[in-house]
Amino acid sequence: MHLRPVLILVLILSLTEIHNAEATPTNKRISSRIIGGTNAYAGQFKFAAAITVHTETSRFFCSGALITNQWILTGGQCVNGATLFTIQLGSNTLNGDDSNRVTVATSEYSLHPDFNPATLENDIGLIKLRIPVELTDYVDTIDYLPTVPVQVATSLLSLGWGQISDDDPELANHLNWVQVTSLSNNECKQSYGSQITDNMVCVSGNYNEGTCIGDSGGPLVHVVSRGQMVHTGVSSFISGNGCQSTDPSGYTRTYPYLNWIKNITLI
C-alpha cells in the first residue's frame, strides 16, 4: 500500500526563521529555500527581489520578481496582512557591502481576491514600489510573462535566498538557483491529492535539490532562446516531510493570472 506523504502547513514568521509547526489537516507547507543550488553571479537574475515583510505582529522573508519598474510579482502569502515591505534589488547578497544594491520601502500591495491561506489556492500577489526604480546592469525586469501554460517535463530554474538544509534555519546570504523539471498535475496529486488545482504546478529536482523554507514568492523561470527568461510560477509550498525529501514542491502558475496582473499593473 502506497501512503502519500503527510505534510503540514508552516507559516514563516521572521528572518531568523521562527515558525509555527502546528499540524493541520492540509498536506502542504509554505515554501521555500533553494537546497543543493548554485550561487548566482552578479547580474544573472536582475529581476530577483529580496523582500522583508512586516506585519503588525511579525516579520518574515519572501522573494519576488520585478516585472515592471514599479511592480514586483510574489506570493499571496507574502503580502497577506503586510504593513510594510523592505525590498533589496540589484544584489545577490543579503548582507555586506554591494554598490549595486538598491533598497526601497513600500506598503502598497494587491492580494488576489480569491487567495486562500489554508489551501494556498490563488497564492499570488503584487507589490507596488512608491516610485519607479531605475533600471541598471544589475536591476531590470524579467524578460517576459508567459504566453502559454508551462508544459510537462519542461526544464526550469528556481531561485532564492532560503535555507540550504533542513538542519540550518538561517537564510542563505547569497542568491542560489537550481534546475528543476515540471510535472503533470496527476503526478503531483500522487503526493498531495485533490489539493492540487489547475492553477498550480509542481516540480521535481535531483535528490537534495529544490526549494525550502525562506523563499516563498520566488520565481520559477523558463529560459528560452538567447537566454531570455519567462516567469512561469510563484513559489508556494513544499512537502511537510522536509526540504531534503524527494517530494515535489509546488508553485502558483503565472499564466492563469495574466489578466489579473495586467489589470492591476496596467502593463
Looking only at the bridges linking them, the beta strands covering 48-54 and 84-89 are antiparallel
Q: Tell me the sheet residues that pair with 105.
A: 86
The reported pLDDT for the residue numbered 69 is 98
CB 173 within 8 A of CB 39: no
Q: What is the pLDDT of residues 148-192, one digit of tens each?
A: 999 999 999 999 887 565 555 567 788 999 999 999 999 999 999
d(CA 55, CA 128): 17
The reported pLDDT for the residue numbered 209 is 60
The reported pLDDT for the residue numbered 245 is 73
The domains found in the chain, sorted by start residue, are 28-40+142-255 (2.40.10.10), 48-141+258-265 (2.40.10.10)
| SS3 state of residue 226 | helix
CB 249 within 8 A of CB 239: yes
In Å, how far from its chain's centre is CA 89?
15
pTM: 0.87
What residue ranges of the chain have pLDDT lower than 70?
Answer: 1-36, 163-170, 206-214, 242-244
Question: 181: which residues sit within 8 A by CB, 6+ positions away?
Answer: 153, 154, 155, 156, 203, 204, 205
In Å, how far from its chain's centre is CA 222?
14
The reported pLDDT for the residue numbered 20 is 29
The reported pLDDT for the residue numbered 12 is 29
